[in-house]
Structures are given as C-alpha cells and as structure tokens.
C-alpha cells in the first residue's frame, strides 16, 4: 500500500483555528507504525448494540491483518474528544458523523487524505467521495456509511383503524391524531400517542428532526454561493409555512408525545414501548423496533410530501484519521478494510453475539457500490431507505463548521414550537440575524 504524501499531513497544521494545537510528527517518510506497536485506538459514538456490531468488524480486521484494535465506544463523543485534544493525544481513528467534518477540520483534529492512495477507493462513487471535501479542496476521512431519515409507522395500528399509508403532511397529521384518539391498540384506555419527536434543542435534536419539513415546504437553511461563501436563507415564507405546520403538531393534543419539546433521543422510547405509532428517525432503529414490537408491525414508508417535495434528511459516518497519530499505514489499512464488501456486509447484519447482545447495524447504506443492501439484509424495507436517499435527500453542509448553525436553528425551532402563540416570522428573523453573525465570524459571508 502506498503512503500518502507528507505535505498533506503537514497541511493539517495550517487549519488549526480553535486554539487546540495537535502536534503532528508523522508523514509518509517517518511513519512510526511498527510491529511492536501494531495497535490502533479507535473511537466510535455508539450504544451497546452498535458497539457489538463494530466489535465484530474489528475482530475480522484483526484476524485478517494481525493489527490489534483498542476499541472505545464513546457516548459523549465530542466532549471526550475535546479533552483528548487538550492533551494533544487524539485517537488514531475516529468513526463519527460525516457532518462533523467541517468542525473537526477547523479544530485541526483530523488529517487530510490522498483519496487515490486508498485501496478500494474506486468502489465508492465520486458523489460520495465529494461529500468528504473540505472548503480547502482536500479530502478529509474515508466514507463509511450513509443513510436517510425515514418514517416508521405502527402498521397493525394503521390497519386496525382503516387508514391508508399517509402520502402528505395532512394525511400524516390525521393518522397521528387517530393513533391518539381512536384506541389503536384496543386497550380501552387513553394510552397511545401519535408522533415521537425528540424536540429538545439540546445537541440540535429538534433541528435534526424538523429540517426535512423545512425542505419539504421549499425552504432552505443556508444557500451555498459556490465560491466558499454562504448566505442565510431561513427567513422565508416557505420556512414560515413549515414552522407553522410543525407548531401545529406540538399544539394539537396527542399528535406528539406530551413534553416532547424537552426530550432528546435517549428519552424517546415510546415507539419501541408501544405507546406511540409514528417516528421520523434513522433506519438504524429498524432492528431495535422489530425486536420490540414485532417485525410484522414495523412499517417504513416513503416520506409524506409537503407543499414542495418529499425531501428527507441525509446523514452519514466517516472514518477520520486522528491528527496526532503516528500510525498512518495502520490507519489506511483499517480504512481499506472497512470499505471492503466483506466489512460492509458484516456491519450491516443483525446477529446475536456470544454474550447474548443483538447487534445494531452500523453500516446503514453501504458506500461500497458492489454491496446490495436488500440482498445482504433480505429486508425489502431497506430498499425504501436506499430509494429515499438516492431520489430525494439532503444533508446539512458538511464542509463548514455547521454545529453552531444547527444549534441556533434548534434553539429557534424549539422556542417557536414551545409556544402555541409564538410569532413565527419574528422567530425566523431572529434565527436569520444569528446566522448572519455566525457566517461573518467563520468568514463565510
């Protein structure tokens, strides 16, 4: 395997912008990977079920290469990453949100890579690779997994009440209200709700849930000017229409679980517990919900359309190379294994481990074009996820440090959804003002 050219690694020093200096000493000519230290420290942001899936993949890598993995599943990923950065000792490899690219590059946490030097790079589409481009034109990290948010429905409830699969916002709202008022589980009790919504502003949850509805109304969040600059686009009639619809869902009793404006994803077990019947979330929950309420009752539908489209939120995970690591060759060997068909397929499966843990897929849609998601999983519902991702999905801008924008958007959306008499036009204008200030602070306007 070829080594990446040394200048790329040294270039990472130049992008440090947050006051955290990561000392780089490795480049292709002085890679200190050695037989005595053939171990990689790898971090992922994973719960126990996802961590079990990663462990299977890393075990297969070690068996094939002899390279040991010191695997650390980390829940408070970015908090702990900041702490390690302060010590100048980042993990060798980080597997985390693709949307963190701009933030990590800005802080000098990750190294640029030479795409052509990665064995198997040509099995990933150009479009997927280009998602890993920084604003400086360099690639950061290797694509690992992609996904689109999808709408889960309790199929047995829907059929029991005689409703068709919803295809519009209005039909989705009507179904949610029916789940709350027409006793879909036949208990004779008032014990069910419509939508599960992680509506807290914490970590941007409501923005990640609600951005699809903004786009479906024809709104934009930021406009990419194509020259490295962006313009705030949030203060528009289309965004006002979307926020009005979102607020109506929160303000109609039963349509969303009570108290949703304060809930994070860790506090929204309602679909799996059988107390709510609609959930817009990531496809990684398919296996969990199947186990909880029965596969035959878990329906995945194409996104119900808004006034302009049925666009859904696209996300992904990337394999980043830690900037302080001196194990370039080992980093590359792991990345090359992870994008191989064998590794992608291992990470897509749901199996019970020797310890009794049921794995949760950590490759949702494969980045390797030679892997067929439906063939591997035997589950046609994954075809709906793939079709939604390909046909009509959109990510947040990954090349810039979008986290401050996401938090501003989440704070504003949460405030408007929390008050049934909120002034939506004023709320959007406030977000717009903060966006413009953030663009200026990042030299993006």
Residue 20 has pLDDT above 80, yes or no: no
Q: What is the pTM of this model?
A: 0.85
DSSP tag of 256: B
- Predicted confidence at residue 231, as pLDDT, reads 97
pLDDT bin (cut points 50, 70, 90) of residue 334 is very high
User: Quick one: what percent of the chain has pLDDT higher than 90?
Assistant: 87
Domain 150-313+400-442: state its class: alpha beta
Pairing between strand 93-97 and 312-321? Answer: antiparallel
- With 50 as the cut, is the pLDDT of residue 3 above it? no
Q: Determine the pLDDT at residue 404.
A: 95
Question: DSSP state, 76?
Answer: S
**What residue spans define the domains of the chain?**
38-148+315-394, 150-313+400-442
pLDDT of residue 36: 56
- Split at pLDDT 50, 70, 90, the class of 253 is very high
Beta carbons within 8 Å of 267's beta carbon, 6+ residues apart: 198, 200
Residue 189, both tokens: 């009790």
| Cα distance from N-terminal residue to C-terminal residue, the chain | 41
Q: What CA–CA distance (Å, rounded) separates 228 from 242?
A: 28
> Which class for 79: exposed (0-12), middle (13-18), buried (19 or more C-beta within 10 A)?
exposed
pLDDT digits 0-9 by tens, 81-138: 999 999 999 999 999 999 999 999 999 999 999 999 999 999 999 999 999 999 899 9
Specify the CATH number for 38-148+315-394; select among 3.40.50.880, 3.40.50.150, 3.40.190.10, 3.30.450.20. Answer: 3.40.190.10
Per the document, the length of the chain is 445
CB neighbour list of residue 84: distance below 8 Å, 6 or more residues apart: 90, 91
Residues sharing a CB contact under 8 Å with residue 1, sequence separation 6 or more, in sequence order: 117, 119, 329, 332, 333, 336
Alpha carbon of residue 97 to chain centroid? 6
Contacts of 374 by beta carbon, 8 Å cutoff, 6+ apart:
380, 382, 383, 386
Segment 299-320, tens digit of pLDDT: 999 999 999 999 999 999 999 9
What is the model's pLDDT at position 27?
39
Exposure class string for 339-373: b at 16+ Cβ within 10 A, else e = bbbebbbbbbebeeeeeeebbbbbbbbbbbeebeb
pLDDT in tens, 232-252: 999 999 999 999 999 999 999
Per-residue model confidence as pLDDT tens digits over 412-438: 999 999 999 999 999 999 999 999 999
**Contact (CB, 8 A) for 51 and 44:** yes
Query: Are the folds of 38-148+315-394 and 150-313+400-442 the same?
Result: yes
User: Which residue(s) pair with 142 in the sheet?
Assistant: 319
Q: Is the confidence at residue 52, as pLDDT, over 90?
A: yes
Q: How far apart are CA 382 and CA 365, in angstroms?
A: 8
Q: What is the pLDDT of residues 123-176, one digit of tens each?
A: 999 999 999 999 899 999 999 999 999 999 999 999 999 999 999 999 999 999
Burial of 127 (0-12, 13-18, 19+ CB in 10 A): exposed
Q: Report how far apart, in Å, the C-alpha atoms of 399 and of each of 4, 127, 233, 237 are.
A: 22, 14, 18, 27
pLDDT value for 38: 87
Structure tokens at 297: 């009752």
């Amino acid at each position: 395997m070829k080594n990446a050219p040394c200048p790329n690694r040294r270039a990472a020093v130049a992008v440090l912008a947050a006051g955290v200096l990561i000392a780089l000493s490795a480049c292709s000519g002085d890679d200190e990977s050695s037989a005595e230290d053939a171990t990689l420290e790898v971090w992922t942001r994973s719960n126990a079920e996802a961590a079990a899936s990663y462990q299977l993949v890393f075990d297969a890598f070690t068996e094939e290469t002899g390279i040991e993995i010191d695997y650390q599943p980390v829940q408070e990923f970015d908090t702990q990453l900041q702490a390690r950065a302060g010590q100048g000792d980042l993990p060798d490899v980080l597997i985390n949100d693709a949307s963190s690219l701009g933030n990590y590059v800005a802080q000098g946490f990750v190294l640029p890579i030479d795409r052509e030097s990665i064995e198997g790079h040509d099995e990933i589409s150009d479009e997927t690779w280009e998602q890993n481009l920084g604003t400086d034109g360099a690639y950061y990290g290797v694509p690992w997994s992609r996904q689109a948010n999808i709408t889960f429905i309790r199929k047995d409830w829907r059929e029991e009440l005689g409703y068709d699969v919803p295809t519009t916002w209005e039909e989705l709202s009507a179904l949610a209200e029916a789940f709350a008022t027409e006793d879909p589980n036949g208990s004779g009790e008032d014990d069910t709700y419509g939508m599960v919504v992680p509506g807290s502003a914490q970590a941007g949850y409501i923005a990640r849930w609600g951005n699809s509805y903004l786009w479906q109304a024809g709104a934009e969040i930021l406009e990419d000017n194509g020259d490295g600059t962006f313009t705030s686009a949030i203060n528009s009639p289309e965004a006002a229409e979307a926020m009005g619809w979102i607020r109506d869902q929160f303000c109609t009793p039963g349509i969303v679980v009570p108290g949703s404006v304060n809930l994070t994803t860790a506090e929204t077990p309602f679909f799996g517990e059988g107390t709510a019947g609609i959930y817009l979330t990531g496809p990684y929950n398919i296996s969990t919900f199947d186990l909880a309420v029965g596969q035959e009752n878990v329906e995945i539908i194409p996104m119900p359309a808004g006034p302009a489209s049925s666009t859904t939120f696209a996300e992904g995970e990337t394999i980043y190379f830690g900037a302080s690591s001196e194990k370039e060759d080992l980093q590359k060997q792991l990345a090359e294994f992870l994008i191989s068909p064998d590794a992608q397929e291992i990470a897509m499966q749901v199996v019970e481990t020797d310890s009794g843990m049921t794995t949760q897929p950590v490759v949702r849609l494969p980045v390797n074009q030679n892997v067929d998601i439906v063939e591997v999983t035997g589950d046609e519902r994954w075809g709906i996820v793939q079709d939604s991702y390909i046909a009509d999905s959109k990510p947040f801008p990954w090349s810039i440090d979008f986290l401050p924008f996401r938090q501003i958007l989440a704070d504003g959306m949460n405030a408007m959804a929390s008050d049934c008499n909120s002034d939506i036009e004023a709320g959007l204008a406030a977000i717009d003002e903060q966006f413009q200030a953030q663009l200026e602070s990042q030299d993006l306007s």
